[in-house]
A = this chain, B = another copy of it.
Amino acid sequence: METRMTNQKLKIMEHLQKVRTHPTAEMVYHIVSKDLPAISLATVYRNLNLLAEQGKILRLEINGEYHYDGFCDSHQHLVCTNCGKIMDLGQKEISNYAMKKIKSSDFELKSVRIIFYGVCKNCKEK
């Protein structure tokens, strides 16, 4: 299930591995366009989906759109319900605990997604 390497895919991958934000396809497109002015948004979408299927990046469903995350190690997300900001949380024990608890024979467990909702520091101060 390996796919052909292209400049577009490479730049997209590199960008996601560089930042610790959780950009949408549009945001990735905007950034990668600086290096590859001719790239199209459709290509960005196709590559993001491809990479996600291959398990090389994560695709998160937050605030009604997809956000992509270049880091696949076990972590969680914090989402501000006021400004929409997404932050990382590195508490492996939480995910581990959850995964261990679910030992159902009826369900072949693959992964967990844990999202915390609340109000971020910035929004709280206002």
Report which A residues bind B (CB closer than 8 A). Answer: 61-62, 64, 66, 76, 78, 80-81, 87, 89, 91, 93-94, 97-98, 101-102, 106-121, 124
Copies in the complex: 2
A108 to chain B, nearest CB (A): 4
Chain B residues whose C-beta falls within 8 Å of the C-beta of A97 in the assembled complex: 94, 97-98
Chain B residues whose C-beta falls within 8 Å of the C-beta of A115 in the assembled complex: 112-114
Chain B residues whose C-beta falls within 8 Å of the C-beta of A108 in the assembled complex: 118-120, 124
Is the CB–CB distance between B116 and A109 below 8 Å?
yes
Chain B residues whose C-beta falls within 8 Å of the C-beta of A101 in the assembled complex: 91, 93-94
Between A and B, 26 residue pairs with Cβ closer than 8 Å are: A61-B61, A61-B64, A78-B107, A81-B110, A87-B107, A89-B102, A91-B101, A91-B102, A94-B98, A98-B98, A98-B116, A106-B121, A107-B116, A107-B119, A107-B121, A108-B119, A108-B120, A109-B116, A110-B118, A111-B118, A112-B114, A112-B116, A112-B117, A113-B114, A113-B115, A114-B115
